[in-house]
Structure 1
Amino acid sequence: MKRVKGKEWDVAESTLISKINQERRLMYYFEALNGMQTFIRFSPEWFTYIQKNQEIIRGWLQYNIIIYLQKRNPSVPGIADKLYPPKERKLEKVKKYWKLLLAIYPICEIYGNVQLSEDNISIDHFVPWSYVAHDEFWNLHPTTRSINSSKSNSLPDWNIYFPQLAKLEFLSYETMWKYDALHGEFEKCATEHLNDNSVRRKIYREGQDFTQFCGALEDILQPVYQSARNCGFENWIYKKVKDDNESNNILL
């Protein structure tokens, strides 16, 4: 404020109010300045402006909140999506892809070795969505609805489950390059679930053997996984008690 500088703030409240209220084009003016009992009077022009432009102002506030939080949490991805999450995550194309693969080969999910079917399939984020805040294809794989629910927002034990994930994803990769119909479904998934072309080329380029594919997948997934661990996401192990029934699996 041009009229109030330095020690001029250290004056009686009535004097300070008088000086502040001499400023032109303020958003509001003081009626009384007394801590929590302070009263202000909005300028009619500003009141009208805020009413007419509240969506723009709200967007500006949300943007600055996101910038503030991201600067102070540099290792946490997707803060904007976490503050304003989508009402639903659209994974139908991914589910359709895996259902088509099921029609070609029988598949067991990676946590409880439960055989999948069209009726029990559910798409899981290996590193939880609540951390990554995205639906990238390389972090998605099929499991059952009940196991997915049990896993919730936990991190599956890397040493136990990443090797199983790599085997399943390599089966998907090999089959995708072998069958045109499955490759077509992969391309549909890629339009929404592979948003980085360099990652797509690294993991899904044609002609890789298992070692190459597994190494590429690990290079992309492991840093994200470790970052989630560093942020406090809990390690999770799913132990199967009996072999013949998914309902006999328990969470440790």
Structure 2
Amino acid sequence: MANMVKTPDELMKILKAATMGDMCFTHILQFIEPGMTEKMVADEIEKTLLGYGAEGLSFPTICVSGVNTTQPHGEPSDKVIEDGDFVTMDFGAVVDGYCGDMTRTIGIGHLSEEQIKVYDIVLHSQMAGLAACKAGVRCSDVDAASRDIIKEAGYGNYYIHGTGHGVGTEVHEAPTLNPKSEEVLEEYMPVTVEPGIYIPDKFGVRIEDLAIITEFGIINAVKSQKSLIII
């Protein structure tokens, strides 16, 4: 099993992969427009990461829109991206054998009050999860920090996965940040924090960063904007 605590050299590779992800997201914000299909955007993400020098992808790129955002691991389809859609993109580059992983959800055109409200709840949940991360903290407590905000807002039943996981040469490694985890965070563990709300037949929102655990909190490897972007 991979070592959960990474060396400085390993962390540099993960940071580099995360930087490629940020650069790619910046590009996609200029690229994406209504009328494109999910597959077209996913293909552009992959082409862009490889163009930056990634040796591969951490996992098959997720780009889902509209009602498809209710599927946390939905696959890009021929669905056309439309005004009023959320678009969720989850992707990562591999650099020197190490994975990046990030997710952003953006709005297209005009969003409803409910969409904006749910986005705001997920963002607060994600920030609370990141704030809870620190060496010595139980993974289950990080999950609770994120989950409690979503529960208190009345959307607890729509948070249908764990809050995060370790990252290294595999995109999913130990530790696991979920309610049942008995693992404890240690300095120099890279972990994701990625809460989401998925409302059946409507829409979903997920926001994910890759955090490097320290004694004082985290170094967030992902710098891309998280306040709601509507294009």
TM-score, normalising length: structure 1: 0.23
Higher helix share: 1
* Larger RCO (CA within 8 A; separation ≥ 6): 2
User: Which has more radius of gyration?
Assistant: 1
TM-score, normalising length: structure 2: 0.24
Higher strand share: 2
